[in-house]
Amino acid sequence: MSTPYSDPYPPSHGGPAGQSSPTGTEPAGAPNPFSKESGFFSALTDLRFTKFVTPKVVSVVYVLMAVAIAIGLLMWTIIAFATMATGDGEASAILIGLVMLVAGPIVALLYLVLARVSLEGMVAVIRIAEDVAAIRRR
């Protein structure tokens, strides 16, 4: 005897596609507290912390961090040239300035990588929380 569906999880017949609940106990239009469709300000003012703000602002935070790192690198470069210029031609001042010019971009890149990895970790944890909440609702 064969089953009508080869899929182990046949589609629900509770309503239009994507509108019925996975468990069948919630109404078709029940709000999902972990939904990504909730607005930024509603998530920001959610005092029960059932909605997450981080996925909505992570790209803005990353751009702001990249801009701050770029400004820091620009200031570091200016200081490196000032160090070389005010050294009165001394080899030590020129050497320090050159080391600063070489080390500055490397340090800036490391900070940018650290910022990116940190933000990706935060987003991953939040996605795990959303997935666990979705599994719990089934």
For the segment 9-24, what is each residue's pLDDT rounded down to a tens digit?
445 544 445 444 455 5
In the chain, what is the straight-line distance between the N-terminal and C-terminal CA atoms, in Å? 29
Within a domain: 126: yes
Residue 78 domain flag: yes
Within a domain: residue 129?
Answer: yes
Residue 73 lies in a domain: yes
Residue 35 inside a domain? The answer is no
Among the listed residues 115, 107, 99, 117, the one whose alpha carbon sits nearest the alpha carbon of residue 73: 107
Whether residue 1 is contained in a domain is answered as: no
Give the range of the structural domain holding residue 93, as residue numbers without chain letter: 51-137
pLDDT digits (tens, 9 = 90+) for 66-114: 999 999 999 999 999 999 999 777 889 999 999 999 999 999 999 999 9
Burial 21-60 (b: 16+ CB within 10 A, else e): beeeeeeeeeebbbeeebeeeebeeeeeeebbbeeeeeee
Q: Is residue 123 part of a domain?
A: yes
Domain presence at residue 63: yes
Reference 56, options 113, 130, 109, 117; nearest CA is 130
Structural domains in the chain (count): 1
Whether the model clears a pTM of 0.75, i.e. scores above it, the answer is: no
